[in-house]
Structure 1
Amino acid sequence: MKLGNKLKIIRVPILTPTLLPHTTTNCYLIGNEQESILVDAGFDQTDTKIALHREIKKNDLAIPRSIILTHSHPDHAPGVLQLVNWEPVVYCHRQEKLATIKAIAPWKQISYLEDGDKISIAGEEIMIIHAPGHTAGQLNLYIPSKQILLAGDNIVAEGTSWIGPPDGDMSDYIQTLSMIKQLKLDKIGPGHGEWVENPYEHIEFVLERRLYRENQIKSLLKDHGSLTVVHLTNLIYDKLPHPNVFEVAKRTTEAHLIKLIKEGSVTQLDTHYSLKSTK
């Protein structure tokens, strides 16, 4: 096999109106000079097309005919509209169907991938993983030969991803993190930020952060008796990088509360939450 035919995995950070501390969203080009795919498409802006075409040319890659969306959020999916001249088939999970159709309209060439599906690019196998948490239909891609996971927004390089309604579920997220931790990993391609070169330590960091927040919520409810989600969020996140992050911080708090209610340790009355009595 010629050197040019070997599989390349290229991280392409593209400026997007995403949440601080991140300012870019990662798209990933996977393939060689004969065939390639794109994972995530960024925001619907001219810079998306320019950045991707620059990297395709620089790395001698074929124009992708398939775009796999990890999820449908506006910093990951609508960039498809900048790439319609590729005539791509766009893939997502069925649970992301309606949101994806809305995100990339009027483009209509959509198909679906399920957990356990396998695709082959440049002679290499890529496994599709349904990895709910950040959204119900989140997809992750695992390349066994490289021991690389492309994690979408289940993993971000700096800090932790927000998880919350209406799209996210904290119980699912914890299960997903525990599942991907069982993979053989050399590094993780996050939804935002640089390659994660210490995958197991980073996953454990995220799990510990979620457990810390959960215990923090219980402690605050014990001390204050009853609190609203807004009050809880203000007590937990006293230093946010920007005021516009408060909404997703609130949703993450709410996701923890929903999980704790399901587990029977927290109760809700109207807009207030409290620890369930053990008496």
Structure 2
Amino acid sequence: MTKWIERMMTVIDGNQLKIIRVPIPTPTLLPHFTTNGYLIGNENESILVDAGYDQPETRTELDEALKRNGIAIPHAIILTHSHPDHAPGVRQLMDWNPVIYCHQNEKQATLSAISPVDKVSFLNDGDVMHVGGEEIQVIHAPGHTAGQLNLYIPSMEILVAGDNIVAEGTSWIGPPDGNMSDYLSTLYRLKELKMKKIGPGHGGWIEKPYEHIEFVIQRRLLRENQIVSLLKQHQKLTSVDLTNMIYQELPHPSVYEVARRTTEAHLIKLIKEGSVTKQDSIFLLKE
């Protein structure tokens, strides 16, 4: 039942624009079973945000959504980031002849993810696109990855957030792509937008955007405080030690590695801020 509900297509109508959340089956991390693609447009023109995994189901789900909602074939695909459940699906869609966009910071990772497709164009913070008579603002929103892109539609007060926000739980943030300092800065920035809804990278529409962003911020600060407290208590710990102490209840063993990397991202932030130091593989509070 959970999988079926998560795959239900949802449509938001504006005056000139439809925003269609298309859950695309992907081998992503629990508790999610799909990655959201977003069709934004009308019968005359549209764009796609994120293309899912490289498998035939990607094309099937998107074709069904286009047909059911009377949406034009997308002329552009905007990749929020290069991870394998968001980008490689463009290989299934190249007969659309789309322009593929990413952020400059994500260029090499994106080209690697979508190979043999070998051409991408770039969007930068503050760029503006127009689709179906509506303005779409581009936000460079690093944290989950260095080149993470978000889209904001001011007339509808909707943010398409990629993996900066997920519907259940929180995104993992960690090396080699993620940066916890950048991520928290991004969350504070996103919270300043005027929003009615957030379209997350995974899961259903988020109807209480400010409460949800604040929940994510507080979760990250809680983890940081836990790390500091544990280092005070035990003096010297590895990132594995800390992960085992903090994440005692995980939804599945498959998410342990991203939990460990998230712990490392917090440690890197604390080292940068001068409160923690590292000796070989051991972390300790700085005197």
TM surpasses 0.5: yes
Tell me by how many angstroms 1:110 deviates.
1.2
What's the counterpart of residue 163 of structure 2?
153
Counterpart secondary structure, 2:124: coil
Q: 1: distance between equivalents of 2:15 and 2:157?
A: 19
Tell me by how many angstroms 1:106 deviates.
1.1
Provide the aligned C-alpha RMSD in A: 1.1
Counterpart secondary structure, 1:76: coil
What's the counterpart of residue 147 of structure 2?
137
Query: Which residue, 36, 44, 59 being the options, matches 2:46?
Result: 36
Query: Which 10-residue stretch deviates more, 98-107 or 41-50?
Result: 98-107
Counterpart secondary structure, 1:83: helix
Assess if the C-alpha contact under 8 Å between 1:17 and 1:75 holds in 2: yes
Counterpart secondary structure, 1:27: strand
Q: Which runs of 5+ in 1 are unaligned?
A: none
Query: Which residue, 99, 109, 115 being the options, matches 1:105?
Result: 115
- The amino acid that maps onto 1:269 is Q
Q: 2: distance between equivalents of 1:272 and 1:43?
A: 37
Tell me by how many angstroms 1:5 deviates.
7.9
Tell me by how many angstroms 1:13 deviates.
0.4
Q: Which runs of 5+ in 2 are unaligned?
A: 1-12
Normalised TM-score (structure 1): 0.97
Q: 2: distance between equivalents of 1:65 and 1:122?
A: 12
Query: Which residue, 266, 272, 278 being the options, matches 1:256?
Result: 266
Assess if the C-alpha contact under 8 Å between 2:146 and 2:177 holds in 1: yes
Tell me by how many angstroms 1:244 deviates.
1.2
Counterpart secondary structure, 1:217: helix
- The amino acid that maps onto 1:155 is I
What's the counterpart of residue 103 of structure 2?
93
Tell me by how many angstroms 1:4 deviates.
10
Q: 1: distance between equivalents of 2:164 and 2:79?
A: 13
Query: Which residue, 219, 237, 241 being the options, matches 1:231?
Result: 241
What's the counterpart of residue 282 of structure 2?
272
Do residues 245 (structure 1) and 255 (structure 2) align? yes
Q: 1: distance between equivalents of 2:252 and 2:95?
A: 37
Assess if the C-alpha contact under 8 Å between 1:5 and 1:34 holds in 2: no
Q: 1: distance between equivalents of 2:170 and 2:276?
A: 24
Q: Call closer, same or farther: CA 1:5–1:209 in 2, change over 3 Å.
A: closer
Do residues 55 (structure 1) and 62 (structure 2) align? no
What's the counterpart of residue 196 of structure 2?
186
User: In the comparison of the two structures, how many residue pairs are matched?
Assistant: 275
What's the counterpart of residue 133 of structure 2?
123
Tell me by how many angstroms 1:107 deviates.
1.3
- The amino acid that maps onto 1:61 is I
What's the counterpart of residue 176 of structure 1?
186
Counterpart secondary structure, 2:38: strand
Tell me by how many angstroms 1:122 deviates.
0.2
1:76-121 per-residue CA deviation (whole Å, 9 max, x = no partner) reads 0000000011011100000000001011111123100000000000
- The amino acid that maps onto 2:235 is G
Q: 1: distance between equivalents of 2:16 and 2:280?
A: 58
Percentage of identical aligned residues: 70
1:242-270 per-residue CA deviation (whole Å, 9 max, x = no partner) reads 11101100000000000000111111000
Counterpart secondary structure, 2:144: coil
1:185-217 per-residue CA deviation (whole Å, 9 max, x = no partner) reads 001000000000000000000000000000000
Do residues 207 (structure 1) and 231 (structure 2) align? no
The structure 1 segments of at least 4 consecutive aligned residues displaced by more than 6 Å after TM superposition are none
